[in-house]
Amino acid sequence: MVSATVTGAPYETDPVYQMAVRQLKDVAEILGLPDEVVEVLRHPERLLQVKIPVRLESGKTVVFIGWRSQHNSALGPYKGGVRYHPNVSVGEVVALSMWMTWKNSLSQLPFGGGKGGVKVDPSQLSQRELEELSRKYFAAISRIVGEDIDIPAPDVYTNPQTMAWFFDEYSKMVGYPAWGVVTAKPYQIGGLKVRIISTGYGVALVAREAAKKVLNGLEGKTVAVQGFGNVGRYAALYLSEWGAKVVAVSDSKGGIYNSNGLDVKKVMEVKDKTRSVINYKDAKRITNEELLELGVDILVPAAIENVITEKNADKVKAKIISEGANGPVTPEADEILARKGAIAIPDILANAGGVSMSWIEWCHNRMGCWITEEEALKKLDKKMTDNFKLVYEEWQRKYSDKPMRIAAYAIAVERVVNAMKLRGWI
């Protein structure tokens, strides 16, 4: 007799993957989904591992390992970023592709979920080595991507230049300019200038909408932001421009705090010039752990996963947590925060601004039309605001005694399951 359960997959022991499955099973129980449907949903439809030999400036050839996980295509082509990081694992990539399925579903985008990663420290590579790595990675996955198949985008330590290399390599292979094969490209080759700000903008926007519900608005409220890459910096920038007071930010080297508020634009300049916010003068140094426990109104974890756990959730004082990173709050911490009355706006809602703007760019490329940056940002604002309203109302109506994540996942997973039923997959 053949078991209905797949076992022994290389990603199953990864803690990030196990966290993603735990979240899926929690909402599946609430929705009454049978075990066999959960079994289908917890595994990717396709998982590709590739080797990437790169000749270093020293003349030595080093082999890097990369992956592309295509989780679910019931709602459309796979969509999700590619990250370069020394700690990337196959389990993390699979988990992130699953989260992308839910994120795209919740945002009502015509995409399924995908994710890619290369196990590499890009800071140790020259620009030429990085270009060789990028081109060879994309060539290696080229048979399973395409404008209507799988559309990658940037993620951790990748950027519009990486996408330009991806776009060019793929276009050479297919013999035509494949404008829609990746998104978040430089604007000179079909991208949108506002794409780089869109994820952080969305994180700030949903925090603003939540503040209207529980803090009587954003004006004068205090904010701490962990992580000062593209997501964290633009979340901080827009929250400050909309009237909040950003008192603390951090990056991988540490954090800074000033109870009177930070000049976010100056912090951005210091970060760009010195590669760390800790060199900003008008603030005291704090650790990343201390930042999470500050007495602020709004906390934006925009660095890495699993930073708020059952060990420190009780010490988190913020009333609103807007998840800029993927998976920064563990399921156990989610429960603790909910019991305390804090709102943790889940990542599949809070940081969906990037993929939503990527959808706008993709449509723009596919139709060959022209759109202004103002029009693109207006579309993003409406989509994110509508999404927050939908999830908040569903949460209050059905799941108010549970974390907001349950409402978001219930909406997203049910849409995917319904599409699978309609297509005869289950």
Q: How many whole angstroms separate alpha carbon 51 and alpha carbon 47?
A: 14
Catalytic entry in 51, 60, 79, 115: 115
Q: Which helix (H) or strand (E) holds 113?
A: strand 112-119
pTM of the model: 0.89
pLDDT in tens, 285-341: 999 999 999 999 999 999 887 889 999 999 999 999 999 998 899 989 999 999 999
Judged by DSSP in three states, 381 sits in helix
Fold (CATH) for 196-352+400-406: Rossmann fold (3.40.50)
Is 115 catalytic? The answer is yes
Angle at CA of residue 188, ends 184 and 190, nearest 5°: 50
The domain segmentation of the chain, as residue ranges, is: 45-178, 196-352+400-406
d(CA 78, CA 148): 9
Do 45-178 and 196-352+400-406 show the same overall fold?
yes
Give the phi and the psi of residue 46 in degrees, each rounded to 5. -150, 140
Four-way CATH pick for 45-178: 3.90.1150.10, 3.40.50.10860, 3.10.450.50, 2.40.160.50: 3.40.50.10860
**pLDDT over threshold 90, residue 370:** no
Q: 116: which 2 tokens?
A: 């890619």
Q: Which of 146, 139, 77, 82 is nearest to 116 (CA)?
A: 82
Contact 304, 228 (CB under 8 A): no
pLDDT digits (tens, 9 = 90+) for 174-231: 999 999 999 999 999 999 988 889 999 999 999 999 999 999 999 999 999 999 988 9
If you average pLDDT over residues 360-389, what whole number do you get? 89
- The model's pLDDT over 252-286, given as tens digits with 9 standing for 90+, comes to 899 999 999 999 999 999 999 999 999 999 999 99
